[in-house]
Amino acid sequence: MSTPIVIDCDPGHDDAIAILLALASPEVELRAVTTVAGNQTLEKTTRNALQVLELAGRSDIPLAAGADAPLRRHLRTAADIHGETGLDGPNLPQPTTRPVDAHAAELLADAIEPGVVLVPTGPLTNIALLLERHPDVRDRLDRIVWMGGAIGLGNSTPAAEFNAFVDPEAAAAVFSSGIPITMIGLDVTHQALFVTEHAARLRNTGSVGRTVAELADFFLPVYRRFGFSGAPMHDAMAVAHVIDPTLVATLECNVAIETRSQYCDGRTVADRWHVLDAPRNARVSIDVEAERFLELLVARISSLR
Ligand code: BDR
Ligand code: CA
């Protein structure tokens, strides 16, 4: 039985690898891709997503562009992490297709049937818009598995992870929606580092493996600057959690999103120890079998040509 998924993303090196992991995995069926402004502008993340589908020979998968800015804030991109294109490093094929002529929220509303899992790997702007425009989607959506947030420290600020920091109001709307949501945060993504040996194993497996190795050639040195020995493949872990739910351990607790703080905007305030009398509205990830995740990632990407 394969789980139907839709990915809402802002590629982004790890978003691109998340899409490829989904395409390589029989446990999930990627029904649609939508794009949001985040790591780069919407124009760039949309082009990047089209190029990734083209690379994998899957330009048949419908793709729609969504929000070009957060709900109520100016866009802050991550060119320092992902480069000027948002996907610096490899030469990607030119897209031969265009986005569908609809906003991401519309494509998501169409694609979300009972049993579909929504996997956002960027700021939650499109998902907040989806819930506002199509509140009925709550009844159809199985759950959301989001890469974002952290119980511990952030990466955009000491308090906030990038996807939460870019659009805290959207994150607040999604976390208070009542839809089951799993947060794959930095607490687990930082435990599994993709290193040069992983890239070396992929480089000669075919054009997809070579491209992922070249993405890593750009991405790993970026993380080394912060003292990491490799790069977390944040977004791919969210997809991996749908593929194999036993990879990541989670616990249910209350998560509130800070939207009005000088220092802590975008903080995902997770009540890990249940000290508040607040509803358990999310599952947060607390541990990952890092080796098993990385081996799955390398094996699956190697299988693509
Ligand atoms: C998240 O931020 C982005 O830069 C990555 O693509 C990932 O989704 C990690 O904080
Ligand atoms: Ca991302």
- How do residues 205-221 score in pLDDT, each as one tens digit? 999 999 999 999 999 99
Average pLDDT estimate for 267-272: 98
Give the pLDDT confidence of 5-26 residue by residue, as tens digits.
Answer: 999 999 999 999 999 999 999 9
- Ligand 2 center from residue 26 Cα (angstroms): 22
DSSP per residue, the chain: --EEEEEEE---HHHHHHHHHHHT-TTEEEEEEEE-SSSS-HHHHHHHHHHHHHHTT-TTS-EEE--SS-SSS-----HHHH-SSSS-SS-PPPPSS---SS-HHHHHHHH--TTPEEEE-S-SHHHHHHHHH-TTHHHH--EEEEE---SS--SSSSS--HHHHH-HHHHHHHHTS-S-EEEE-HHHHTTSEE-HHHHHHHHTS-HHHHHHHHHHHHHHHHHHTTT-SSEE-HHHHHHHHHH-TTSEEEEEE-EEE--S-TTTTT-EEE-TT--S-----EEEEEEE-HHHHHHHHHHHHHT--
Give the pLDDT confidence of 28-80 residue by residue, as tens digits.
Answer: 999 999 999 999 999 999 999 999 999 999 999 999 999 999 999 999 999 99
Q: Which residues line ligand 1 (CB under 6 A)?
A: 12, 14-15, 39, 78, 81, 121-122, 147, 155, 161-163, 234-235
- Ligand 1 center from residue 225 Cα (angstroms): 16
Average pLDDT estimate for 119-143: 97
Q: Is the pLDDT of residue 273 over 90?
A: yes
Query: Does residue 107 fall inside a structural domain?
Result: yes
Of all protein residues, the one whose alpha carbon is nearest to atom 10 of ligand 1 is 162
Give the pLDDT confidence of 226-261 residue by residue, as tens digits.
Answer: 999 999 999 999 999 999 999 999 999 999 999 999
Query: Does residue 284 fall inside a structural domain?
Result: no
Query: Does residue 95 fall inside a structural domain?
Result: yes
- Which of 40, 88, 186, 235, when mutated, tests ligand 1's pocket best, judged by the most ligand atoms within 8 Å of its CB? 235
Ligand 1 atom, smallest distance to 11 CA? 6
pLDDT for 151 equals 98
Note the ligand closest to the C-alpha atom of 14. Answer: 1
Enter the tokens of residue 164.
């939460």
286 and 188 Cβ atoms separated by less than 8 Å:
yes
Query: Does residue 98 fall inside a structural domain?
Result: yes
Give the span between the Cα atoms of 171 and 127, in whole angstroms.
9
Domain range for 196: 3-257+267-276+290-302
Ligand 1 atom, smallest distance to 161 CA? 10
- Ligand 2 center from residue 206 Cα (angstroms): 24
Q: Is the pTM of this model over 0.85?
A: yes
Query: Does residue 282 fall inside a structural domain?
Result: no
- Is the peptide bond between 86 and the residue preceding it cis, with omega within 30 degrees of 0? no
Q: Is the pLDDT of residue 190 over 90?
A: yes
Note the ligand closest to the C-alpha atom of 161. Answer: 1
- Ligand 2 center from residue 277 Cα (angstroms): 32
Query: Does residue 283 fall inside a structural domain?
Result: no
Share of the chain above pLDDT 70, in %: 100
Q: Is the pLDDT of residue 1 over 90?
A: no
Query: Does residue 272 fall inside a structural domain?
Result: yes
| Beta-ladder partners of 143 | 117
Ligand 1 atom, smallest distance to 82 CA? 4
Q: What's the domain count of the chain?
A: 1
Active site residues: 234
- Mean pLDDT over each residue of the chain, to the nearest integer: 98
Q: What is the CATH number of the domain that holds 69?
A: 3.90.245.10
Give the pLDDT confidence of 94-116 residue by residue, as tens digits.
Answer: 999 999 999 999 999 999 999 99
Query: Does residue 281 fall inside a structural domain?
Result: no
Give the span between the Cα atoms of 65 and 37, in whole angstroms.
9
Average pLDDT estimate for 157-165: 98
